[in-house]
Structure 1
Amino acid sequence: MAALFPATTTLLACGGGGEEPTPPGGDGGTTTVSGTGGAGGEGGGGTGGSGGTSEPCGVCGENASCGAEGACVCNEGYSGDGQSCDDVDECFDQLDDCHPSAACTNTEGSFTCACPSGTVGDPYAGCEARYKGIASGSYHTCALRVDGAVVCFGAGGNGRLGNGLGANQATPVRAGAASNWAHLAAGASHTCGIKENGNVWCWGNNGNGQLGLGNTESQSLPAWVSLDRTWTGVAAGEQHSCAVESDGTLSCWGRNNAGQLGVGAAVTQAVSPTYVSVDPAALTPENDWLHVEANRESTCALKQDGRLYCWGQNSDLQIAKTGGGTVPTPSLVETAAGAMDMDWAAVSVGPTSCAVKMDGRLFCWGRGAEGQLANGVLAASAVPVQVAPGTTFAKVRAGITHVCAIDTADALSCWGRNQSAQVEAGQNTAVTSPRPRGAGSRWVDVAPGLTHTCALDDEGRVSCWGSRLYGQLGDAMTSLETTAAPIGTASWARVDTFGELGCGIQEGGDLYCWGNNETGQLGFGDTASRAAPTEVTTALSFSRIAMGRQHACGITSAGAIVCSGRNSSGQLGRGNTTPATTFEAILTQGKPYSGLTWGEIALGEDHGCSIATNGTLWCWGRNNQYQLGAEQNPAVGSLREVLPTGEWTAVAAGQFHTCATRADGALWCWGRNNEGQIGVGTAGNPTGKNGYVPTSLGTGWRPALAGGVSHTCAIKQTGTLWCWGRNANGQLGDNTTTDNPAPLQVGTDTDWVEVTAGNSNTCARKQSGAVYCWGFNGTGQLGLGDVTQRRVPFLLGGAADWGSIRLGFTHACGLSTDGALRCWGSGENGQNAQGDGFSADLVAIAEAK
């Protein structure tokens, strides 16, 4: 297109009188210029020539014409000297005006813009992909485009995205090159699809044969299960798959540890499709199956006559049978004993299973602890419970901990666990009734994952919400931070983390918290998670803060203990088991600790310990593993003194164990010891030896120690660092993965000053301010720029002068000596404080790469 680029032109002389040269390629003719007084004429400066007219350019080349300046120029869309003109490739040279989302095609002398296959729109203003199907695994999503292509996004481990790689992708990528897909199913770490010809193909993790390829080799590109068999439906669970064949038979393959293949308990694994029948002894496979669904370790399938059968894991009663356990063969689902229901139309299975009747009634059964049964009762049920009587439903999809459904008016609603806003925005983390999502749109399908949800509307648009940890929302964003990233510009005095949450105290005593808040542990007065540090509005000023798994306690500037969150074991210290969503003081009236002021505090999973300013140590909460330092349980919500001799200097709480140091340098530990975490030289808690009896690990210890989930670390007065307990992920730092029930020195350095322990990892700080980390690193919580596990200490970047460091389960936070806060690791529930951990709003997926 000539207007978009300059033409190269050679000017041909046009005489101001006299004879014009013969143009190249011309006929050798001459042109007479009109007028007199030209060169050689009489009179010198008049109008020269003899009068006559001529074409000033002569003959121009192909695809050229005479320009206004009397020279041959190449036509629009060509370049050259006016005699030789070549086509310009506007697409290659980026001279076109197509929208970046459109396809440019070069033509002779021009170009065309068009929206690519699978998209619609104006090729000059923008093209948008359109979809006709979606499926979500735990942390990834795949979508079926209208042109039959498949795109996937989110966690990419084991090749589950089908793009030939194993990396996470926050933007949709093509799964294979085919454009003839008809159906999709996504499991925990693998994906399956059916092509238009009926063949099933699978890709991703194949450690248990869940791809059905006859082996256990994982595949990062789609691989066919069989080219000779045709299928009408396919389903993917955690480590197994099932499909209905066009002849009505049903087959399953993969892991069978919970009976999820439906072929009896004797089979532990099948790497190729294996027929499933209600009667395992049937000589020929039953051929009246209609549809199948799978999730985690459970499977449900519909018969053509409307009967519904489920099998596999029943720990949450999701198979609709009392007693829990596993159910290794198909079991009939009935709304009441003897009902023999034969009017089921659709089903979805998970820890909570749900099914729609032919008349549109929706029933759910199984796990209900987070409101999944939508009946207001936070408990499991083996009996199907009707959801939203009076509403007729067309489709239901069960995730891991939440459920979504579409009614016959095409409205979408979700309910259940909501810690990452996967159900709705700004509400309780246990949503006990269907809540509308995407009002104003007409929805045709929905796909809940573990902590995210995606849905498809009737215009072919896919929208997602919830956690974006691995990019599973497809909006080009993730919340996986693998390096220590700064959080704002405020100055902080203290920070603490545990589980999936964190809190910090700013200079002046103001408390800010972030992360998982599903039991109100952050003290905001609600149960909505926070993705960034948010001030806890209270009149209290804090000097210390400690985090448990689902509760938090702090010490105020006045020396009082205040707590918030879960209280099932009395861990809030209020003399009851009533939960709270704001920080309130422990009950001290009439207690032996009345009048004490407190200096240090540590929390475990469901227990807490605090050292009073008089040196006494007190513990409270759950005591199932003797983590309170005594065999006998204290009164509910009351504090019990540990070894009432005073002079305690520091305390650390692991998940179910506790350690503390005294002024004489003695280190004492007690509680769970199954992995050797109390350091007495043997694992286990033999009666009368250790566990509920605090045991001394000798003297010579500094008041610098940390309790992880199942390991412990402490620093000696010599500055050496020692760890013991579980070591499956190298968290003991000895370059092995062997558990050690006695203190084991980490390296030979003698300048350690602080240590922190997480789920399966450890970090420690030196006198210089340098921090080193090691152990499990699956979500980048070691801050080393990757997700690779370490078995020896590695230097943490981000700051050269760390002043404090704390590890959670999947994240970490630390303070530099100038008071700057940095956090890293997972932001799934907002725990890395970056502010982008989850989206409560529906976001459109990005265009595929």
Structure 2
Amino acid sequence: MKNYIYSIIALLMVMLCPAQVFVSQAEYFWDTDPGTGNGTPVSAADGSFNSVFEQLTKTGIATPGSGLHKFSVRIKDNTGVWGPVFTNVIDVQQNPTTMLMALAQAEYFWDTDPGVGNGTPVLAADGNFNSVFEQLTKTDIVTPGNGLHKFSVRIKDNSGVWGPVFTNIINIQQNPTSTLLALSQAEYFWDTDPGAGNGTPVLAADGSFNSTYEQLIKTGIVLPSNGLHVFNIRIKDNDGVWSSVFRNVINVGAPITSGCWESFSAGSLHSVGIKADGTLWAWGSNSEGQLGDRTTVDRKVPIQIGTATNWQSVSAGGRQTFAIKSDGTLWAWGYNYDGQLGDGTKVNRLSPVQIGTATNWKSISAGVNHMLAIKTDGTLWGWGYNVFGQLGNGTNTNTIAPAQIGTATNWQSVAQGIVHTLAIKTNGTLWAWGYNADGQLGDGTTTSKNTPVQIGTATNWKSIDAGNNHSVGLKTDGTLWTWGTNSNGQLGNGTTGQKNSPTQIGTDTNWANIDAGSTFTYANKTDGTLWSWGNSSNGQLGDGTNGAVNTLSPAQVGSSSDNMLIYAGSNHVLVKNVDGFLKVCGRNDFGQLGDDTHIQKNTFAYTACPSNCASPMQFSTSNITAATATLNWTASTSAPNGGYLYIYSTNPIVGGIDGTTSATTANLSNLLPNTTYYWWVASHCGSSQSNWMQGGSFKTLPAATTGCWKSVSTGDYHSLGLKTDGTLWTWGRNQNGQLGDGTTSSKDTPIQIGTSNNWSKIITGNSFSAGLKTDGTLWAWGSNRDGQLGDGTTINRMTPAQIGTATDWVSIASGDDYILAIKSNGTLWGWGRNDWGQLGDGTTINKTLPTQIGTATDWKMVAPGVEHTLALKTNGTLWAWGSTTYGRLGNGISTMIAITSPIQIETATDWKSVGAGYLHSVGVKTDGTLWGWGHNSDGQLGDGATAYKTTPTQIGTETNWRDVDANRYHSSMGIKKDGTLWGWGNNDYGQLGDGTKNRRFTPTQIGTSNDKQSIALGSYNTFVINTNGFLSGCGFNEYGQIGDGSALQKKIFVPLACPTNANLAVDNVLTKVDQLKVYPNPVQDYLTVSFDQKILSVTVYNAAGQLVLTKAINDTKGTIDCSAFTSGVYLVKVNAANDFVKTVKVIKR
């Protein structure tokens, strides 16, 4: 194929060059025009460009994927002028198994094809066909009658294979009646003949007409309107005789607008693409660094990855990405938990890293967690997750570096589902291996295989792809075949029944390309139409639906016929058209469509081609207070039309809290006092984004006052706080009355519960709360489904209700749906859910009243989890009971057993504190060492591995741990004796507070401050109180459980202001204090503040004590714009000269 193309070009150049002095440069490109001078260079056959007519040569042409593609050639003359683009549409197929050694024959014909070998022979110019490139010659060509005719040329190689036909339309006219002695004049005209001598003059290239043969030149030709036109040239000899007219029909049109994309790949929640200039771009989810931009910040528009311009192919997996460069090297980045990057480690990579040193990688296919690749020698290699044998290496063991699969050297293509693999060999046979419960291997069984098995005997498979658990393939005859699971109609056979072997879909024979999403399928036909079927829960079928009804058979999507290549992710789709434009549809919550929104698309929409976006510069920080700061920067040389994005964090890695602005400043508020912050800023250019630029760091000022918080507890979705004055405050979700305010309305800021100021201990569980008062009484409220309130019923309570009459309760702790408490006499009591014996009373029966656990009177502390409980006695021994799954009790057992009574764990007597999570446990000993045991899939034990431990295992060697706790979702947090905060394990919701969502497999310091006093871990969020009584929280916040007045997830700790107890009556609002005036009150728009001395600043807080704004006045009178405030009560704090400070309560209407 490659050599045919350039034999044709050799003929073509003779026709294109007559208006040039001589050819000086040539280039080619596929599909998308990269711009003049940016194509792939083509050499002159004789080694130099020095003639009007040049034969071109090029070997090793890189072809795009199979299917219809536009192949274009362009030449430039020695005056620097580029000629027009010549384009042929070529059906690219797999490379032939034999190489073309030389041309052997050529022929031409007019109009009607007489069949290969039956045309009129054309000779090689040197007399012999013995080269890959031949100049052809033919004299005395017999022409047909006058008029438009098709002139066609065809060549054959020395293996007997004929190439495609190259055809030109030529207008045949009568031969001139006079003998041309020399040219003396030339002219051209469009469409209508103005008469001989009245056309537009054309000059001789050498400046004078004095020869029988003249090269003509004309620049600045004026084009007629768009459409078909006849272009005419006429010449005159030196006898004054004009020749007949030479005509060509030309389709005049506006410049063709072309896209910029070469190829794409769609992962689970992210997308990557290569532009025609060889640059790499990525967008969407970036939780594990899968975009490769050195951050874990999501992108909703493409960002260029590095500066390399030689990316050749790319493949996006679950949360990782792979790419091959034109030099044959393989690169990977992103998630690496199972060694799926292949770099020999399990460490995530935030930017592309080269995998090995091989330079002969041909193709790569990224699965969710396992990878397959083919080298140019036809060998197959695999690595990553392999529990179901999906690597095909005969084992079920993960591999962290590329390992060859078998010894075959004829692998052609490969594709993966979640845990199964398909491949085609060069002989057209189909092979499969891996998980097969849904028949996705296609071998007629549901038995999994860990080595490749041939599927059927067919030898005409052309391409394959795999969804989650279904498979799809095309044969060379254009037929479509599917097999595997079909619950969403993803097989397209009109049913939802599973198929265990390939089944033909319909009878069409014009299918061109296929791609399988998670539970849906796409294909296009040779006519360029697009088709989809299966699940459309996120609009991914592009047909305007959104999951109401599955589509069980192929249905055409839209009416366009320019669809070239399809790339389906888990629930989003990218389609490249023939002009290189990208259109998208489907899920978009992480920006994976790249359209600068998070809005799902149920029909296809085109996205703009991204351009390089200049970064901002000259960074500084100003106006720093204990809670606020201003970030400043200078616009790039070309200011971005989309403004700027900024992000700040308490950790020196890109991530944290983000924002946007059209200005070159950003005002930050609600910052932690006496805390170091780091910040970054990027330009937003509409269709693309610049790299993040580090703005530097700053440290907020110490707080002028101390905080008010004594303790905090957080459950699944709600939180409780205890102030130093003994008052109780709650916030978050409230569907079962767990906030205790008598309602079921959620709250996103702390509200006081009752007026009691003698609360001493508080706990939260799954939708319930409880607490102790200083008088030793026990109180509970919220959900009571399992009797966890302990009042003898299973009836929910909307406000705190006293449990029994005992006054000797001293400590209390909550599990997911149960409570353990200790009395002053050292006895242990439990109630609530008990299906795994987590109460420890020797049964698995729920208890609705406090029940004593055994007879021991030396219990010191207790730590319930979800289905297991840990406790310490006063002698420092560790005890456990409940479920043993994953070894969480620490007794050496990992199977599913219920231990219904306390058992001692080993013999150590130096345990200081323990924490129980969902499936894991942690503890600190009196010597300051850290220990962990149980489940470890997310690194929650902190030992750098993921294997579970069935007995307490020391984590590291440090001896300065002060406290540790485990949350109910696979994370752990600890405080060291120096007051620093550390976190490890799962971080899906930012609950570690390090500014990212990355899992941490070893304890990682959170921020730089060393004033941490206590920690409280919920299921998905974390709270910390420092030594000054300030409270801050991070993590999941959908129900306002962080208490910062929003429902936005926080990946760094944000402060909770001290709420105000005082509650002035509205009709007693102060409007005048001393000579200070604050009016009007109530206020609707602008509030005026005046004083007889200079007012330095005015600070406004909401009713929960949270900062709303601070404004510098520096005058005796000022105004505050309250128009954007929500209705309610606000506190206006006025700071004036001579240390005058007053706070006035104001009502906003």
Question: TM-score, structure 2 length as denominator?
Answer: 0.40
The correspondence for 2:718, drawn from 477, 482, 503, is 503
1:310 maps to 2:522: no
CA shift at 1:504, angstroms? 2.5
- Cα distance, 1:658 vs structure 2: 0.9
Q: 639, 643, 657: which is aligned to 2:853?
A: 643
SS of 1:261's equivalent in the other structure is: coil
Deviation of 1:641 after TM superposition, in Å, equals 5.2
Tell me how far apart the structure 1 counterparts of residues 1033 and 931 of structure 2 sit (CA, whole Å).
24
Q: State whether structure 2 residue 805 is matched by structure 1 residue 684.
A: no
- For 2:470, give the aligned amino acid: S
CA displacement at 1:274 relative to structure 2: 4.6
| Closer, same or farther: CA 252–668 of 1 in aligned 2, 3 Å | closer
What's the offset of the Cα at 1:617? 0.3
Q: CA separation in 2, counterparts of 1:141 and 1:831? A: 33
**CA–CA distance in structure 1, aligned partners of residues 976 and 308 of structure 2:** 55
SS of residue paired to 1:616: strand
Matched, 1:773 2:982: yes
Correspondence list, 1:5-404, <5 A: 130-131=260-261, 133-137=263-267, 140-153=270-283, 170=299, 172-175=302-305, 179=309, 183-188=313-318, 191-193=321-323, 201-204=330-333, 220=352, 234-236=365-367, 238-243=369-374, 251-255=380-384, 258-265=388-395, 274=404, 291-301=413-423, 309-314=431-436, 319=441, 326-330=448-452, 347-350=465-468, 352-355=469-472, 365=485, 396-399=515-518
Match of residue 902 from structure 2: 694
Aligned match of 1:114? none
User: Which runs of no fewer than 5 residues in structure 1 stay unpaired?
Assistant: 1-126, 515-519, 525-531, 565-571, 576-582, 839-849
Change (3 A) 1:472 1:326: farther
Q: Deviations over 1:723-755 (max 9, x none)?
A: 5535979977999999694697997779x6884
* CA offsets 1:786-827 (integer angstroms, 9 cap, x no match): 879696795755795766521657x53446699976444689
Higher relative contact order (CA 8 A, sep 6+): 1
Cα distance in 2 for partners of 1:210, 1:685 equals: 27
Cα distance, 1:325 vs structure 2? 7.5
Letter in 1 for 2:314: L
What TM-score do the two structures reach when normalised by structure 1?
A: 0.51
- Counterpart AA for 1:187: G
Q: Is the 8 A contact 2:870 2:878 kept in 1?
A: yes
2:732 is aligned with 1:512: yes
Aligned to 2:892, the other structure's residue is in SS state coil
- 2:838 aligned with 1:617: no
Output the CA distance in 1 between the equivalents of 2:728 and 2:982: 30
Task: Give the SS at the match of 2:833.
Answer: strand
Distance 1:740 1:324, change over 3 A: same
Number of aligned residues: 625
- What amino acid maps onto 2:380 in structure 1? S
CA contact (8 A) 1:781 1:824 kept: yes
Q: Which has the larger radius of gyration?
A: 2
- Once the two structures are aligned, what percentage of the paired residues are identical? 17
**What's 1:44 paired with?**
none
Are the equivalent residues in 1 in contact too, given 2:792–2:849 (CA < 8 A)?
no
Report the counterpart of residue 840 of structure 2 in structure 1.
Answer: 629
1:365 CA drift (Å): 1.9
> Does the aligned pair in 2 maintain the 1:253–1:273 contact within 8 Å?
yes
Task: Give CA-to-partner distance per residue, 1:571-610, whole Å, 9 cap, x none.
Answer: x5399xxxxxxx9x99738xxxx99679956335xx6445
SS at the partner of 1:355? strand
* Secondary structure, aligned partner of 1:683: coil
2:880 to 669, 693, 696: 669
**Paired AA for residue 588 in structure 1:** T
Residue from 702, 705, 708 that aligns with 2:917: 708
Residues 495 and 503, structure 1, Cα contact 8 Å, conserved in 2: no
Distance 1:311 1:798 in 2: 52
1:215 and 1:714 map into 2 onto residues whose CA distance is 29
* Alignment equivalent of 1:588, drawn from 794, 805, 812: 794
Structure 2 residue identity aligned to 1:504: S
The whole-number CA distance in structure 2 between the counterparts of 1:772 and 1:824 is: 13
Instruction: Write the deviation string for residues 347-387 of structure 1: whole angstroms up to 9, x where unpaired.
Output: 3233x335378888976629x8xx89899xxx99786999x
Q: In the alignment, which residue of structure 2 is the partner of 1:725?
A: 933
Contact 1:487 1:823 in 2 (8 A): no
Contact 1:660/1:667 (<8 A) preserved: yes
Confirm or deny: 8 A CA contact 1:299 1:311 kept in the other structure.
yes
SS of 1:573 mapped into structure 2: coil
* Residues 888, 935 of structure 2: 8 Å contact kept: no
In structure 2, C-alpha distance between the alignment counterparts of 1:398 and 1:294, rounded to whole Å: 11
How far, CA to CA, are the matches of 1:304 and 1:457 in structure 2? 27
Distance (whole Å) between structure 2 residues aligned to residue 660 and residue 702 of structure 1? 10
Write the deviation string for residues 88-128 of structure 1: whole angstroms up to 9, x where unpaired. xxxxxxxxxxxxxxxxxxxxxxxxxxxxxxxxxxxxxxx99
Report the AA paired with residue 1022 of structure 2. Answer: A
The alpha-carbon distance between structure 1 residues 788 and 274, as it changes in their structure 2 partners (threshold 3 A), is closer
AA aligned to 1:311 is W
Aligned-pair CA distance for 1:151: 1.4
Residues 240, 411 of structure 1: CA spacing in aligned structure 2 closer, same or farther, 3 A cutoff?
closer
Whether the 8 Å contact between 1:685 and 1:691 is mirrored in structure 2 is no
Amino acid of the structure 1 residue aligned with 2:916: G
Query: What whole-Å deviation, never above 9, does each CA across 1:13-67 have from its counterpart, x for those lacking one?
Result: xxxxxxxxxxxxxxxxxxxxxxxxxxxxxxxxxxxxxxxxxxxxxxxxxxxxxxx
1:602 to 814, 826, 836: 814
Post-superposition Cα deviations, 1:419-455, rounded to whole Å, max 9, x if no partner, equal: xx9999xx99x999579xxx99989745436xx8564
By how many angstroms is 1:252 displaced?
3.6
Q: 1:622 to 1:262 in 2, by over 3 A?
A: same
Distance 1:634 1:710 in 2: 21
Alignment match of 2:569 (pick from 443, 448, 468): 448
Residue type of the partner of 1:512? G
Mapped contact 2:872–2:878 kept (Cα < 8 A): yes
Preserved CA contact (<8 Å) 2:738 2:782: no
Tell whether the 8 Å contact from 1:162 to 1:204 is kept in structure 2 after alignment. Answer: yes
One-letter code of the match for 1:772?
Answer: L
Structure 2 CA distance for aligned equivalents of residues 762 and 229 of structure 1: 41
CA contact (8 A) 2:472 2:480 kept: no
How far, CA to CA, are the matches of 2:975 and 2:982 in structure 1? 9
Instruction: Check the 8 A contact 1:159/1:203 in 2, yes or no.
Output: no
For the residues of structure 1 that align with 2:397 and 2:861, how far apart are their CA atoms? 53
Residue type of the alignment partner of 1:503: H
The 3 A distance-change label for structure 1 pair 229 and 803 is closer
Distance 1:422 1:819, change over 3 A: farther
1:154–1:824 Cα change, 3 Å: farther
